[in-house]
Amino acid sequence: MVSLTIDGKDIRVAKGSTILEAAELLGITIPTLCWLRKVSPTGACRVCAVEVEGVDRPMTACNTTVKDGIKVTTQSEKLAKIRTKIMELMLVNHPLDCPVCDAGGECDLQNSCYSLGASKQEYGAVLERRTIRYDWPLIESDPNRCILCEKCVKVDHEVVGCDAIEVVNRGEATIIDTHDGKPLNCEFCGNCVGVCPTGTLISKPFKFRGRPWAFTVTKSVCPFCATGCQIEYHSRNGRVERVTSDDETYNSGNLCINGRFGYSYANSSDRLTDPVVRGAKADWNAAMGAAVAGIKDVVGKHGSDAVAGIGSPRLTNEENYLFQKLFRAGIGTNNLDSEARLGYASAQKVLRDMVGITGASAAIDAIDGAAAVLVIGCDLNAEATGMEYRVIKAATKNDAKLVLANMRGVKLKKFANSHLKYRPGSEVAVITALTKLILDEGLEDKDFVGSRVNNLAELKAALSGVSLADVAAGAGLTEADLRAAAKLVGGKKTVAVIFGADIMRCGQANDAVKALVNLALILGALGKEAGGLFPVYEKTNIQGVLNMGVVPDSLPGYQPLSAAAAFENAWGRKLPETAGKDFWQIVEGIEQGSVKALYLLGCDPIASFPEGGRIRKALEKLELLVVQDAFPGEAAKLAHVLLPASVAAEKTGTFTTIDGRLQCLGKAANPPGDAREDWDILTELYNRLTGESRAATPAGIFAEMADLVPRYAAALESGRVGTSPHAGSFELAPAVSGTVDAADPSSPFALVAGAILYHSGTTTSWSKNNLEIAPEGYIEIHPEDAAKLGIVDGAGVKISAAAGSATGQARVSAKVQPGLVFAPYHFRSMNVNSLLGRGAVFTAVKVEKA
């Protein structure tokens, strides 16, 4: 601790604190303009200059570290004069277009000039004007308004790790620009716009949509990925016109393209506005009637189990809760599932069984301080951008060692100390080899393993048969690569292990997750102040879907079907006793004729699930298909009853993140036309089906649910419903194979389908803003393969698998490996999902010129 005096007041602060931080603790405000808590201090504006006794020049409070015994003065005539003059200098040649500047009314420069009394101009210079960049997508830059605070550049570099913009030129000509002067080509997270204190960097979609003060600001949660960033909707006339995030939030005000610009999906003219019954526009009464009559008819003819429902991670906890209640209590079946079946559900089951957690082992801010981070089978940039920011922070600010294991050279590669570019099918082998190497080198967490792990000897014995040479050869790596990676994550005080779609949806997903839990356990990743085990999923409320019991074999809160009594009491209805069908069993049931009615809630399996072709055929067979959605997707075209629903910005409710944070949505806009909020639709359907007449509100639904689902009642206060690893000893999974799936020699290429940064599921394919950046799918292919096949960048490529084919433009890039092609799975028009089998996110394909 260091003692100092500021304006005559004594304070003790931690060593290494700045004068600004010390003053803040004393409640003394030192004016700042370029200072931004979440990035390194810049010291550009100089308005935070203070006097330190004995130092014959002003020192800037933002970047001057305290020293024992110093006496600091923050207010004096001299300082006031310096600050005023600096503001005057800042205004030299600053355009006075405040009346039409987008920042007018929320401009830090205006505010600083006002508060520092810069009311006249003593300085003048020859006017030089810089080109306004109208040619950038989504973001506009007017360098004439720039005060060179560098906040944008620092957020871009330090938080996002994108390096799209930089300070260029010298003297008065110094501006913020792209490094090559070409139009901006970046992640389009807009965090630069978010931190710009002036109207230099502005959002083009928001430009001239209104004065900042004319909007209603509603706090809410981002509806896209499972990071669950806290946002603010700015709406007017029932329409969202921009999204921002405050620096005081959990996500420090940082968003990604989806969070900041993805809101335009809500304003899409494609939105469903009217109920439709068998192809004809209908009113709600008719549509509800048709749905209920249809369901009753099927139940009457074929029994309750002839009805099935698919829930949605896009919908709230309350809505998913109502959905399963509708099925269990209203219809009487457990035929319930969701896209969690594609991978997350079974991964979560392994976590529950092995360590007693239902999601991540800790909140994601525990990543920030980890001493080592392993990101495996996950493109965090696309699957959970906000988590990627945390990994970047750990690696760059907090000295974490970073190992990236990914089939592709994704963005995190540039921060990684090791990149294991493994071949598809070698996931389990690679994890096993790392585990073996860590144990061989004695790099396991001996304290943790000694006190909390039961059967290390068994694992060691099983691993003795693993040949590193074989693993390396099969995975396309070298033993040295594996050894280096093991040394980077091994022997560290705290480790974060992060895994995503490529693990949860690989062919041996169950074994891979088990092997990964083994690895996390021997590394001592669980139960510490930093680090942990973090599954990643691309969509917001996947955790809520499972927590709410939208699964065929358990009740909300993972309570067994045998524990139905409490629910029966609460709901006043008898629940079905036998487990229902999961998604694939439902599809088979439709094919075989045992399932006659299907209710799709906020999902479009034809476009976003594997085997889309087969699913389409099955859907065509149904007696009744009810689709409740905000958009006319592929399934909606086949619906007998189409119920227009709402998006997250249009309702209240809660989301649960994978790391167990419970967060509230705020209603900022109205659903278009006659569209209604999902909870409202589900409530009415329930009432109509059961003959009840209970009115509902999201708060009321939450209260009912919180009584039945553990941890939710307290969570409104604590914000946490997450589970911690159980307190006892852990059992390592028995030996897992170290062999690599042999590649199919007849199909030299593997297709990996996955998410890209610029979209979230198929939802943002309705968003004009996202489409401006990424309008269509493409096929990424390695230069060597492209050369062999005579494919050039931008040329048409056709990929064919057993289930079908898809065509797109080639992107020739060494990010993929030879023999691997990658295609984003967001685009309905390209629909690469339909090429996949249900078991894996990759499949053997033939690649040819289109």
Partner 1 sequence: MAQVVFSSWGRTIVDNRAGGEVKEASFRLPTTFDGEKSLAAFMGWDGIILYDKNVDVPAMAAEYMRRVQTLYCCGKCTPGKKGTKVLADVLTAIAEGRAKEADLDTIEDLADLLTSCKCTLCQSSTVPVLDAVKHFRDDFIARLSGSRMVADRHRFIDKYTAPCMDRCPAHIDIPAYIEAIKEYRFDESLSVIRDNMPLPSVCGRVCPHPCETHCRRKNVDDAVSIMVLKRSASDYEWMHNMAPPMQPKPRKGKTVAVVGAGPAGLACAYYLALEGYPVTIYEALPEGFGGGMIAVGIPPYRQPRHLLQRDIDIIASMGVEIIYDTRIGKDISLEELKQKFDAVFLAPGAHRSKPMGVEGEDKGYKGFLKGGIDFLREAYMGRPTGMGKKVVVVGGGNTAIDCVRVALREGAEESVLLYRRSRKEMPADVWEVDGADDEGVRFEFQVLPTRIIVDENEQVTGVECLRMALGEPDASGRRRPEPVAGSEFVVECDTVIPAIGQDPDLSFIPDNLGIDITKWNTIVTKYIPLKDAAGKELKDGMGNPLVRTLITDLDGVFAGGDAEIGPLTVVACIGNAHRAARVIQRWLEEGKAYLTDDEFIEDILTNLPVYDKGEQVPWLDSVAREHQAEIHGRERAGYKNYQEVELGFVDSQAVREAERCLRCYRVAMVAV
Give the DSSP per-residue string, 476-536. Answer: T--HHHHHHHHHHHTT-S-EEEEE-HHHHTSTTHHHHHHHHHHHHHHTT-SSSSS-EEEE-
In whole angstroms, the minimum distance from the beta carbon of 419 to partner 1 comes to 7
* Cβ-based nearer residue to partner 1, 170 or 280: 170
In whole angstroms, the minimum distance from the beta carbon of 158 to partner 1 comes to 6
- With b meaning 16 or more CB within 10 Å and e meaning fewer, what string describes 575-588? bbeeebbbbbbbbe
For residues 843 and 800, the answer to whether their CB atoms sit within 8 Å is: no
* Cβ-based nearer residue to partner 1, 51 or 445: 51
β-partners of residue 750 are 820, 844
Nearest to 481 by CA among 423, 551, 521, 442: 423
In whole angstroms, the minimum distance from the beta carbon of 387 to partner 1 comes to 20
- With b meaning 16 or more CB within 10 Å and e meaning fewer, what string describes 666-688? bbbbebbeebbbbbbbbbbbbbb
* Cβ-based nearer residue to partner 1, 148 or 743: 148
Q: Which amino acid is at 493?
A: K
Q: What whole-number distance in Å separates Cα of residue 502 and Cα of residue 408?
A: 11
Q: What whole-number distance in Å separates Cα of residue 662 and Cα of residue 660?
A: 6
In whole angstroms, the minimum distance from the beta carbon of 797 to partner 1 comes to 27
Whole-number Cα distances in Å, 598 to 183, 333, 336, 551, 684: 48, 12, 10, 15, 18
Instruction: List the structure tokens of 57.
Output: 């020049």
In whole angstroms, the minimum distance from the beta carbon of 21 to partner 1 comes to 13
Q: What whole-number distance in Å separates Cα of residue 749 and Cα of residue 244?
A: 42
* Cβ-based nearer residue to partner 1, 19 or 799: 19
* Cβ-based nearer residue to partner 1, 90 or 733: 90
In whole angstroms, the minimum distance from the beta carbon of 1 to partner 1 comes to 14
Q: What whole-number distance in Å separates Cα of residue 256 and Cα of residue 262?
A: 9
In whole angstroms, the minimum distance from the beta carbon of 135 to partner 1 comes to 23
Q: Which amino acid is at 544?
A: G
CB hemisphere CA count around 501 (13 angstroms): 26
In whole angstroms, the minimum distance from the beta carbon of 106 to partner 1 comes to 21
* Cβ-based nearer residue to partner 1, 127 or 742: 127
| φ, ψ for residue 204, nearest 5 deg | -65, -40
Residues of this chain that bind partner 1 (CB under 8 A): 40, 42-47, 49, 52, 55-60, 63-67, 70, 82, 85-86, 89-90, 92-93, 122-126, 147-148, 150, 154, 157-158, 167, 169-174, 396-399, 414-419
In whole angstroms, the minimum distance from the beta carbon of 294 to partner 1 comes to 59
Q: Which amino acid is at 780?
A: E
Give the DSSP per-residue string, 784-815. Answer: HHHHHHT--TT-EEEEEETTEEEEEEEEE-TT
* Cβ-based nearer residue to partner 1, 83 or 133: 83
* Cβ-based nearer residue to partner 1, 115 or 169: 169
Q: What whole-number distance in Å separates Cα of residue 775 and Cα of residue 767?
A: 10
For residues 167 and 174, the answer to whether their CB atoms sit within 8 Å is: yes
* Cβ-based nearer residue to partner 1, 58 or 824: 58
Instruction: List the structure tokens of 830.
Output: 């390209």
Q: What whole-number distance in Å separates Cα of residue 726 and Cα of residue 48?
A: 49
* Cβ-based nearer residue to partner 1, 293 or 814: 814
For residues 233 and 243, the answer to whether their CB atoms sit within 8 Å is: yes
In whole angstroms, the minimum distance from the beta carbon of 157 to partner 1 comes to 7
In whole angstroms, the minimum distance from the beta carbon of 45 to partner 1 comes to 5
Nearest to 243 by CA among 268, 218, 225, 226: 218
Q: What whole-number distance in Å separates Cα of residue 93 and Cα of residue 303?
A: 77
In whole angstroms, the minimum distance from the beta carbon of 623 to partner 1 comes to 58
Residue 631 CB neighbours (<10 A): 20
Residue 836 CB neighbours (<10 A): 25
In whole angstroms, the minimum distance from the beta carbon of 127 to partner 1 comes to 10
* Cβ-based nearer residue to partner 1, 406 or 723: 406
* Cβ-based nearer residue to partner 1, 58 or 576: 58
* Cβ-based nearer residue to partner 1, 171 or 728: 171
